[in-house]
Structure 1
Amino acid sequence: MMRFVMLSIVALAMSGCASNVVTDYNSSVVFGNYSSWAFAPTTEADSSSFVSLDGSRVRDAIERELNRKALQRVPQAEADLLVSWQIVPEERLEQTGLGLGFGFGSGNFGWALAAPPPVREVEEGKLVVELADSTSKEVVWRAASRRYLNENQSPETRRKLIDEVVTEMFTKYPPGLD
């Protein structure tokens, strides 16, 4: 019994240390050569006449974190890095209750019936941030969140989640310092 308790504690501790962000980068790039940035232009497909509420939150968080990295925001034509981001929609299944079952039998033989718990489809958004070299137009660094935004979150919860995720993303920039 004690062994089970210890294994449970170790498993919980390790899961608490798991990162909520996944990053990837071009290992041949010298990130110290970048000193300025600008948001990348939007394409016709994703441009609209306004910035969404979450979009504004993401832009503010990215700008704050890049300022902390001593990167200067400049006009797009003068930038070393172009920053793009998107909230990628993902659907997942979520159990909403308990399953039911019953059975009967005796000895080594019996029968049982069970119904799985009710399941519903939930749409969530995963934040992805990419930094591209403005000269080559190639992505040099990318971060994706393992935490999700969903429609049931309050505005304050969404803002805090976006701030936390973007902050964690940029703790891994520039790469190789951790």
Structure 2
Amino acid sequence: MAIRVLIASILMLAMAGCASNVVTDYDSAAVFGNYSSWAFMDETGEGQSVVSLDGSRIRNAVERELNRKAMKKVSADEADLLVAWEIVEEERLESYGVGFGLGFGHSPFGWGLASAPPVREVQEGKLVIELADTSTQRVVWRAASRRYLNEDQSPEYRRELIDEVVAEMFSKYPPGLD
């Protein structure tokens, strides 16, 4: 019996490890073989903006992955695809510590009191990357991370996480090659 439980546990862990950390969507009418060049959407020449630390990490990862796809980085007015990204802020509740319980009684019945563990709000960010066709001005491919960035992560961990997530996103580009 214990061996069955152990085998079932190992199988469940293996299946959980196979779950994807990103979700992608795409326009099935788009001909992805026609795209050979790209630019970041905000590099249209309309004013300069400051790039955040995570923004720089994301840009570097996207550029690396699109280079691996043999796509050429060009100016925005020459590009087949424009790359847009954002970190979507989300809140979640996280419990920490332990609750306390107390009970009394006899036979199968009794009374009890318990307190819930303390809860705090945690701000997290989910990375979303979109590729838009410059001729139609429509998004043709989108990827969203299931892993989150948060303020408790070190700069090195954030860079590694962004690199891993962006690599996994672009492993599903172009669609249909999985």
Which TM bucket (shorter chain)? Answer: over 0.9
Q: How does 1:33-112 map to 2 (within 5 A)?
A: 33-41=34-42, 49-112=49-112
Match of 2:155 in 1: 155
Which amino acid is 2:134 matched to?
S
- State the secondary structure of the residue aligned to 2:77: helix
- State the secondary structure of the residue aligned to 1:9: helix
Segments of structure 1 that go 5 or more residues without pairing to the other structure are none
Distance of 1:55 and 1:167 partners within structure 2: 16
Retained in 1: the 8 A contact 2:41–2:76?
Answer: yes
- State the secondary structure of the residue aligned to 2:58: helix
Give the CA deviation at 1:42: 7.3
Which amino acid is 1:112 matched to?
G
Retained in 1: the 8 A contact 2:101–2:113?
Answer: yes
Question: What TM-score do you get using the length of structure 1 for normalisation?
Answer: 0.94
CA 48–77 in structure 1, closer or farther in 2 if over 3 Å, else same: closer
Which amino acid is 1:136 matched to?
T
Match of 1:14 in 2: 15
- State the secondary structure of the residue aligned to 2:11: helix
Of all paired residues, the percent bearing the same amino acid is 70
Give the CA deviation at 1:101: 0.6
Q: How many residues are treated as equivalent by the alignment? A: 175
State which drifts further: 84-93 or 99-108: 99-108
Give the CA deviation at 1:49: 3.5
Match of 1:167 in 2: 167
- State the secondary structure of the residue aligned to 1:172: coil
Which amino acid is 1:128 matched to?
V
Match of 1:133 in 2: 133
Retained in 1: the 8 A contact 2:102–2:114?
Answer: yes
- State the secondary structure of the residue aligned to 2:145: strand
Give the CA deviation at 1:4: 2.6
Q: Considering only aligned residues, what root-mean-square deviation do their CA atoms show, in Å?
A: 1.5
Distance of 2:174 and 2:49 partners within structure 1: 33
Give the CA deviation at 1:50: 1.0
Segments of structure 2 that go 5 or more residues without pairing to the other structure are none
Deviations 1:27-52 (A, max 9, x none): 11110110000111379xxx873110
Give the CA deviation at 1:13: 1.1
Which amino acid is 2:88 matched to?
V
Which amino acid is 2:6 matched to?
V
Give the CA deviation at 1:104: 0.9
